[in-house]
Structures are given as C-alpha cells and as structure tokens.
C-alpha cells in the first residue's frame, strides 16, 4: 500500500494520514466486533449500522477495497442475506491495512 500516494491524493501530510488510519483501524475493529455479534444474534439492522460506519470512514480515507467490502455487507444486511465470505474479506482487508501501517511506522 502506497501510503504516501494516498496521503497526497487526499491533500494530507503522510503523518497526518497515518494518524487518521490508525484511528480508523481502532474504530473499525470495534465496528467489526459489533458486526460479528450482530451476525451471531441475526440482527440485520445492527449489522448494517456497523458496516455503514466502516464504509463511511473508509470512503473518507479513499480505502477503496474496504469501502467496497463494507458497502456490500451493508447492502446485504439491509436485504437480510449476508454472505459470510464478504465479512471474511472485509476482515482480511482490515488486517492487511493494519499490517502495512505497522511496517510504515516501522520504516518511518
């Protein structure tokens, strides 16, 4: 992931963008656990709200894949036919992001 290019695209300094990304990961992980428990409780509304939150912030930060994953989950949840694979994909993409931030911080 080219953080510098993304930051530039958003008109932000790299360190600013990094801060926003880690804040995003924090909230996204709490949203993810809400999403997981919503799926266990079969609460579609709650699942949609959690996905909506991830979707919005991902969009703000131009995290296109995560944005698309979250959007798909939100729409599926509204239609009450959530695919486990979509949630898994979102989870993986969030993990990827976390990893690359780790390396960025390490390199910075």
CA-CA distance, 27 to 24, in Å (whole number)? 5
Contacts of 24 (CB under 8 A, 6+ apart): 57, 58, 61, 63
| Residue range at the interface with other proteins (CB under 8 A); choices 60-68, 80-88, 90-98, 99-107 | 60-68
Residue 29 found at the interface with other proteins (CB under 8 A): no
Residue 102 found at the interface with other proteins (CB under 8 A): no
Residue of 73, 79, 78, 39 whose CA lies nearest to 56: 73
Q: Which residues bind other proteins (CB under 8 A)?
A: 9-12, 16, 19-20, 23-24, 26-27, 34, 37-38, 46, 48, 53, 56-57, 59-62, 64, 67, 74-75, 78
């Amino acid at each position: 992931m080219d953080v510098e290019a993304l930051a530039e695209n958003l008109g932000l300094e790299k360190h600013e963008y990094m801060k926003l990304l880690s804040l995003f990961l924090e909230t996204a992980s709490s949203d993810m656990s809400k999403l997981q428990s919503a799926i266990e409780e079969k609460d579609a509304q709650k699942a949609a709200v959690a996905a909506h939150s991830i979707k919005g912030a991902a969009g703000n930060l131009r995290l296109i894949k995560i944005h698309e994953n979250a959007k798909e989950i939100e729409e599926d949840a509204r239609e009450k036919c959530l695919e486990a694979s979509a949630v898994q994909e979102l989870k993986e993409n969030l993990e990827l992001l976390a990893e690359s931030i780790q390396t960025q911080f390490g390199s910075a």
